[in-house]
Amino acid sequence: MPRPTTRPLVVLLTAVLCALAGAAPAAAHQADPNYDSRLNGVTPAVPGLQVSILARGDQLAIANETGRTVEIPGYRKEPYLRLLPDGTVQENLRSQATFANRDPKGTSPIPASANASGPDSKPQWRTIDRSSRVEFHDHRIHWMGETGEPAPQVQDPSEPQKVVDWTVPIVVDGKPVDVDGTLYWTPQQAGFPLPAAVGLVVVLLLGGGLVLVVRRRRGAAGAPAEDVW
């Protein structure tokens, strides 16, 4: 009878380890886990306007189901993003925010042509989506310093606490609307990283399960159990 092979075990474990390794760079683009940005509300409330915070403040997401135009000004109050009633999403290539918000730390190069300043600046719109939804790094809602570094407002780094209230102004059908929230300091305990711990458990469970399957098959065939590692 053919000898049971351990190749499926090796292949599966290799796939799991590769997946875990690939997840590491993605995690590096998340917001600092020592901070948590939370949405407090939208004032005034607008039916069909959906606002949410992603990954503890890494990004702000806005979906437009209002049937009207939603505009998001940049840091200089210039036109930055707009969501049209037909689902079109556009960015202004003359807004510094278009480029600064592409990176969580605001380090993306800003071209000289992005010189808009003020609400009356003439925009250069470029369509980027047609989903009625946009996600972007707004630097008013998350920590911009070094990862794990307490903000100056933090009195006791060992205790969770409020850092600052924030507001992102938007415009719906020509009327001002405020998106309000709060940034909190949420210190993480030092130790083995949680994603790595979960990955290790998954590997051990899958490996152990496959070992049992191989041994049972060998036992059923009358062959002595061997170490498959």
Q: Domain segments of the chain: what residues? A: 34-185
What is the per-residue pLDDT for 105?
Answer: 87
Note the pLDDT tens digit of each residue in 38-57.
999 999 999 999 999 999 99
Identify the pLDDT of residue 48.
98
Which residues does 16 contact at the CB level (< 8 Å), separation at least 6?
Answer: 199, 202, 203, 206
d(CA 114, CA 94): 4
Beta strands in the chain (DSSP E): 35-43, 49-54, 59-64, 70-73, 79-83, 89-92, 125-129, 133-136, 161-172, 175-185
* Model confidence band, residue 27 (pLDDT cutoffs 50, 70, 90): very low
For residues 160 and 184, is the Cβ–Cβ distance under 8 A? yes
- Six-digit token pair at 15? 């796939």
- What gap in Å lies between CA 179 and CA 164, rounded to an integer? 14
Mean pLDDT of 68-84: 98
Residues near 98 by beta carbon (within 8 Å), at least 6 away in sequence:
74, 80, 91, 92, 114
